[in-house]
Amino acid sequence: MRRFLLAVPLVFACAKAETPPADSAAMATPALTEADVAGTWTGTIMMEGSDSVMAHWTDICGAGTCRLTTQESPKDTVSSTYVIAGDSAVGTSPAYADPQMGGTMVTDHWVARVSGGTVTGTGMMRLADKPDSVVMRYRFTGTRQP
């Protein structure tokens, strides 16, 4: 019996180690590049939790900046800067007077994911003088224009 107890640690020491599963991060989508983001995009914005289109937009992006123009009245143009973070582009705008909110000063914060010729994402608008406030959450979809 004692011989068997001495052999148990030897069996475990000599056991073949299992191959760990492949790292899921290695199988994730490839990192986004500037070439993926740069270009002209068009699409729609919907309030979070709704399928009703709030606005149609055109966004011209490149070199870390975007210039978004809405087609609805009142037409609005918002500039923002973005950084590429892994598989996403993360953007923010400086404070601007939003005509759809009666000229209230707001900032816009968004995250976009590009896959081929499509973009999807979410965003939120905050009061410029109260950066911890959220006045609107939205989601957007779009396609790259030739």
Which H or E element spans position 26? Answer: none
- The three-state secondary structure class of 11 is helix
pTM tops 0.85, yes or no: no
Question: pLDDT truncated to tens, each residue of the chain (146 aa)?
Answer: 455 444 445 444 555 556 656 665 556 668 999 999 999 999 999 999 999 999 999 999 999 999 999 998 778 899 999 999 999 999 999 999 998 889 999 999 999 999 989 999 999 999 999 999 999 999 999 999 99
- The three-state secondary structure class of 3 is helix
Report phi then psi at 6, rounded to 5: -75, -25
Joined tokens for residue 18: 């299992």
Structural domains in the chain, CATH included, are 32-145 (2.40.128.20)
Joined tokens for residue 23: 């790292």
